[in-house]
Amino acid sequence: MKSSAKKVMTLLLLTATVISFLAIQSEQYLSEDVNVYEKISAGSSINYLIIGDSIGRGAGAETKDLTWHSQFEMLLRDFSGSEARRNSIVQSGATAFEGLFKLQKAPKSRDIDLIFVLFGENDRKYMDAEQFTFFYERLIRTAKERYPNSEVITIIENPLRQEKFADAIYRISFHYGAKSLDMRTPFKESGMLTEQLTTDMVHPNGKGYRLYAYSIMELIKNHIQKKSDIAGYPKPLTRNQAIYLAEKKHPDASNGFQRQNGVNISKHPGDSLEYEFEGSILGVKATRSQNGWLVNVYIDGNYVRTISTWWPFLRERFLFIASDLENGPHTVRFETLEGASPHNKSDKTMVQISSIIVAVEEKK
d(CA 331, CA 248): 12
Closest CA to 134 of 107, 178, 102, 172: 172
Q: Given the DSSP bridges, would you call strands 46-52 and 84-90 parallel, antiparallel or unpaired?
A: parallel
The conformation of residue 250, written as its DSSP 8-state character, comes to: S
pLDDT tens-digit map of 304-343: 999 999 998 899 999 999 999 998 999 999 999 986 667 7
3-state SS record for 291-354: CECEEEEEECCEEEEEEECECCCCEEEEEEEECCCCCCEEEEEEEECCCCCCCCCCCCCEEEEE
Question: Measured on CA atoms in the order 244, 250, 251, 253, is the torsion positive or negative?
Answer: negative
Helix (H) / strand (E) containing 170? helix 163-176
pLDDT tens-digit map of 179-225: 999 999 999 999 999 999 999 999 999 999 999 999 999 999 999 99
CATH architecture of 243-361: Sandwich (2.60)
**Maximum separation of any 2 CA atoms in the chain, in Å:** 93
Q: Within the chain, how many helices (H) and strands (E) appear?
A: 11, 16
Q: How many other CB atoms are found less than 10 A from the CB of residue 94?
A: 27
Domain ranges across the chain: 29-226, 243-361
pLDDT tens-digit map of 33-89: 899 999 999 999 999 999 999 999 999 999 999 999 999 999 999 999 999 999 999
For residue 163, give every residue at least 6 positions away whose Cβ sits within 8 Å of its Cβ, in sequence order, or none: none
Question: Has residue 29 got a pLDDT over 50?
Answer: no
The reported pLDDT for the residue numbered 174 is: 98
Q: Given the DSSP bridges, would you call strands 258-260 and 263-266 parallel, antiparallel or unpaired?
A: antiparallel
Backbone phi, psi, residue 261, to 5°: 50, 40
> Residues, the chain, total?
364
Closest CA to 282 of 335, 242, 312, 243: 243
User: Can you tell me whether residue 360 is helix, strand or coil?
Assistant: strand
Fold exhibited by the domain 29-226:
Rossmann fold (3.40.50)
Q: Are 42 and 33 in contact (CB under 8 A)?
A: no
Question: Are both 29-226 and 243-361 of the same fold?
Answer: no
